[in-house]
Amino acid sequence: MTEQSRIASRFKASAAVPQGLANCPVRNVLDQIGDKWSTLFISLLGEKPHRFGELRRAVPDISQRMLTQTLRDLQRDGLVSRHVYPTVPPSVEYRLTPLGQSLLEPLSHLIRWAETHHAAIRTARGEFQRQAA
Amino acid sequence: MTEQSRIASRFKASAAVPQGLANCPVRNVLDQIGDKWSTLFISLLGEKPHRFGELRRAVPDISQRMLTQTLRDLQRDGLVSRHVYPTVPPSVEYRLTPLGQSLLEPLSHLIRWAETHHAAIRTARGEFQRQAA
DNA sequence: TGACTATGGTCTCAAAATGAGAGCAGGGTA
DNA sequence: TACCCTGCTCTCATTTTGAGACCATAGTCA
């Protein structure tokens, strides 16, 4: 059994206790960083600290509401820190914490995979639709 | 500039064209595999092929509706293949395709990260809540 | 015969998450 | 006076998800 084939057991680590799967550490963490926006902002902040408005302009298709919420969730998880400068109007800067930076490395593997295989996935999607029609 | 700090540019690869960000290959791919259930089933199927009912029992907190849909999406993207056996009642088996298997490796990095740091994240969440109160 | 099992789904309706857009404080600028 | 800028929050509509009933088929038990 290769190391990869054991991945599933990591998800099931807590399956013994009630609601164990929902509390599984891996799912717990991946549910957050695997949402629609988190990885994108972690990548942007990995480049350099950004202000709120910079992030909004960098990702025009997020609503301000979700941007606020995503940043707060990342902050809550200790991946991002928030710094308010008492200028007028006040400006707010977001940065990766060391914990957030440590995520850049494994994330980069996933991104490399996506770059390498997105053509194959597009082909598969086309194929699938052709068969459905 | 380290390799990791350039991650953001991969997301922005298509920012030049209209709606480029939404069509960005990386976001396109990560949006799918980063949903609430996909990584979990890819991991399970990485262990061995599973039947529909096995997957449902392995993940009791998914609704049958979402299980069906998640599997169909993975199949559409060419990560999972579906095999129907004409028994009575018919049984259906799902397996990873080679493309799906190639995802196990980068995924394992992320899972290792989650295992390593979930304690820190829980601590951060507790800290955050304490400050809010 | 009738009730019940199991399989892999679909359909409908309610609940939850998200998007769109307005509003807000508070000082700057014209 | 009127308007801009910042980083939000609030409300309401749309979209996504969850819960649960329903379906066809055939076997099993009484």
Residue A2's Cβ-count burial label (10 Å; 0-12, 13-18, 19+) is exposed
Cα(A32)–Cα(B29) distance, integer angstroms: 17
Comparing A127-131, B4-8, B58-62, which segment has the lowest mean pLDDT? B4-8
Residues B78-121 pLDDT 10s: 999 999 999 989 999 999 999 999 999 999 999 999 999 999 99
Nucleotide closest to residue A94 (CA–C1'): D7
The domain ranges of chain B are 35-132
Query: Contact, B108 vs A7, CB < 8 A?
Result: yes
- Check whether residue B67 has its CB closer than 7 Å to nucleic acid strand D: no
B59 vs B21 pLDDT, higher one = B59
Which chain B residues touch A118 with a CB distance below 8 Å? 25-26, 28-29
- Give B5's contacts in chain A (Cβ within 8 Å): 46-47, 104
Which residues from 71-130 of B have any strand D atom under 7 Å from their CB? 88-89
CATH topology of domain B35-132: Arc Repressor Mutant, subunit A (1.10.10)
> Which one of B25, B108, B127 has the shortest CB-CB distance to A4?
B108
Q: Is the model's pLDDT at B1 over the cut of 70?
A: no
pTM of the prediction?
Answer: 0.89
Own/partner contacts of A81-90, CB < 8 Å, gap of 24 or more, are none
Given a cut of 80, is residue B56 above it in pLDDT?
yes
Nearest residue to A120 via CA among B89, B14, B97:
B97
- Indicate the pLDDT class of residue B40, thresholds 50, 70 and 90: very high
Going by pLDDT thresholds of 50, 70 and 90, the confidence category of residue A21 is: low
**Cβ contacts from A onto B, under 8 A:** 188
